[in-house]
Amino acid sequence: MELQLEQGSEIKSWKEVQLLYSSALKQISTKIEILNDEFQHVHLYNPIEHVTQRIKTSESIVKKLKSHGYEPTIGNMVKYVNDIAGIRVICSFTSDIYRIAEMISKQSDIKVVAVKDYILHPKSSGYRSYHMIVTIPVYLSDRIIETKVEMQIRTVAMDFWASLEHKIQYKFEGDAPAHINTELMECARMVSELDAKMLQLNEEIEGIRAEGETK
């Protein structure tokens, strides 16, 4: 691991970085689980299919810092890398994505730092997802540290496409043949249409159920 310590940095070591960000992930995960349980209790419906999380490796962080022209120090890591801690929330429908984002943003101890809506504005590759950079306070024995977590909220279909696209780009080291990228774009279009169709079908089912309950 090629990391240099900065004089006076609040975080002194890679082990402390791991502790800090893993603690932030635990807190966010617990909040998501509680919100999902509450939603089930109130609406008899779980908006979340499953949740995954990860801490970025030191090698990956160093590579990212260098690619942006920063020295690989602990201080720069904490200051400039927003996705050291990442959590991915997988939903059934696109409407769930915005519902979960709203519930998270209303938590009093969570601050939303940045939002990138790749659903309304997909990447040129066809990638679609909803990204949030949030901070959450981590309470250590002698201080409180506001810690950044990147949240990615997407549907099952979006996640399948993103996973496949990542594997393909990794295999071709980011330089996949043009016809492969064209096929991926077509698959992204199909995923978008599938999500829209499934949401429409779900809303129709909910409407029939609600009508039945009023009779």
- Is the pLDDT confidence value at 83 over 80? yes
Average pLDDT, the chain: 91
61-86 burial: b if 16+ Cβ within 10 Å, else e? bbebbeeeebebbbbbbbeebbbbbb
pLDDT at 95: 94
- pLDDT of 209: 80
User: Is the pLDDT score of 35 beyond 60?
Assistant: yes
pTM confidence score: 0.89
Confidence (pLDDT) at 10: 67
Which domains can be identified in the chain, with CATH numbers?
14-156 (3.30.460.10)
Considering the chain, what percentage of its residues have pLDDT values greater than 70? 95
* CA angle (161, 165, 180) in 5-degree steps: 110
φ/ψ of 157, rounded to 5, equals -65, -45
